[in-house]
Amino acid sequence: MLKKLFIACLCAAPLLLAAQSPVQHDIWNGLLKKHVHADGLVDYKGFVKDSARLQQYLRILSASPPKDSWPRAEQMAYWINAYNAYTIQLIVEHYPVASIKDIKKGITFVNSVWDIKFIRIGAKTYDLNNIEHDILRPQFKDARIHAAINCASFSCPRMLNEAFTAQKLEQQLEAVTRSFINDPDRNRVGADKAELSPIFNWFGGDFKRDAGSVRAFVNKYAKVKLKETGAITYIDYDWRLNDVK
């Protein structure tokens, strides 16, 4: 009896270890490289065709919620990828759609599309707002998150065509933030004035926390530095789907 129990424990050990190990994002990485263009636009028709593969990745996320024992970078990469992957899934389920905001129509008792509880991770059910405002922003306190997560809209920061990983996270966060701030379709920064994405207005506190002010945060990455006397205004947000033409 003891021998059988010992053998059973040995067989179960690899499964237990796998469950405790950080998620590998290879499937998601392959999908992004295949269906996200260099300009950040997304081939949603391609994702629809690859929906089985996307579901496979989401099942991995669902079965492997982050643990406190994971390094901070592993947890952060997990939640950024989860936000982006579940956003893609939401579009895939309702495609074709002109805007992510249109998905809310017809769903009762829900304030916005970001409040739809459709994300099952471990024993909990989340909506996209939970991931952004209850996990990513308060737990990791890094304003660069706003350049990493994508709301499936044209004015969002460009979708990165690779998965975020712990090994590359710092480099990736720096790259997407610099790209976002210097992208003239989303921010226009000059010495005398800056027309910024409303993201800098909506989440101004995050940028002030990290750099002292929105101006200081922008100037850390902008090719042209905004003067202290330079005016800041905010561009209207374009909620059209960031779909390929």
- 10-residue stretch averages of pLDDT, the chain, 245 residues long: 42 46 96 97 98 98 97 98 98 97 78 94 97 98 98 98 98 98 98 98 98 98 98 98 94
* φ/ψ bin of 37: left (φ > 0), alpha (ψ from -120 to 50), beta (otherwise): beta
Question: Could you tell me where the beta strands, DSSP code E, fall in the chain?
Answer: 119-121, 124-126, 188-189, 193-196, 231-234
Using alpha carbons only, how large is the chain's radius of gyration in Å? 20
Q: What pLDDT is recorded for position 166? A: 98
Per domain, the residue ranges of the chain are 23-181, 183-236
Separation of alpha carbons 102 and 112, rounded Å: 9
Number of H helices, E strands in the chain: 12, 5
Q: What pLDDT is recorded for position 106? A: 65
Give the global pTM: 0.91
Q: What pLDDT is recorded for position 72? A: 98
Q: Do 150 and 82 contact (CB within 8 A), yes or no?
A: no
- Rounded to 10°, the helix 26-35/51-63 angle is 150
- List the structure tokens of 161: 């065509």
Peptide bond preceding 96: is omega within 30 degrees of 0, i.e. cis? yes
Separation of alpha carbons 144 and 173, rounded Å: 6
Q: What pLDDT is recorded for position 229? A: 97
- Secondary structure of 13-59 in the HEC alphabet? HHHHHHHHCCCCCHHHHHHHHHHECCCCCECHHHHHHCHHHHHHHHH
Q: What pLDDT is recorded for position 15? A: 40
